[in-house]
Amino acid sequence: MAEPALLQVEVVLAEAGALRRASLEVPVGTSTWQAVVQSGLLAGREDLDVAALGVAVFGRLVDRDRPLEDGDRVEVLRPLPQDPKLRRRRLAQQGGTMGRGPGRR
């Protein structure tokens, strides 16, 4: 009997000042969310609302049940702490910017 085919994937979780990674071998048919769970990156993370987390593959938002392909990089997406448009609006009202001065790019 042949062994099931395995895929090489990477799961990443970006945090303030750090990037946590896990390289995994998973069976064909494994979903993005199953790989996140198997990576162990969320273990003991009561500070994260698991229901609010999204997943992306190479920066593109995907469903949690999307089957993985060999070489995929799964990114765990946390909700933004505040709406960027609202933050810019508040900064503008206070005379501030989001880090870019006049004429800088």
Q: What digits encode the pLDDT tens for the residues 56-84?
A: 999 999 999 999 999 999 999 987 766 66
pLDDT of residue 88: 77
Mean pLDDT, residues 17-42 taken together: 95
Query: In this structure, are residues 32 and 61 in contact, taking their beta carbons and an 8 Å threshold?
Result: no
Specify the pLDDT at position 101.
56
The architecture (CATH level 2) of 6-86 comes to Roll (3.10)
Which residues are within 8 A (CB) of 9 and not within 5 positions of it... i.e. 6 or more apart?
Answer: 23, 24, 26, 30, 35, 68, 70, 71, 72, 73, 74
Given a cut of 60, whether residue 105 has pLDDT beyond it is no
How far apart CA 93 and CA 53 sit, in angstroms, is 31
Query: What pLDDT score was predicted for residue 10?
Result: 98
Give the span between the Cα atoms of 85 and 33, in whole angstroms: 29
pLDDT per position as a tens digit, 32-63: 999 999 999 999 888 888 898 999 999 999 99
Residue 102: pLDDT over 60: no
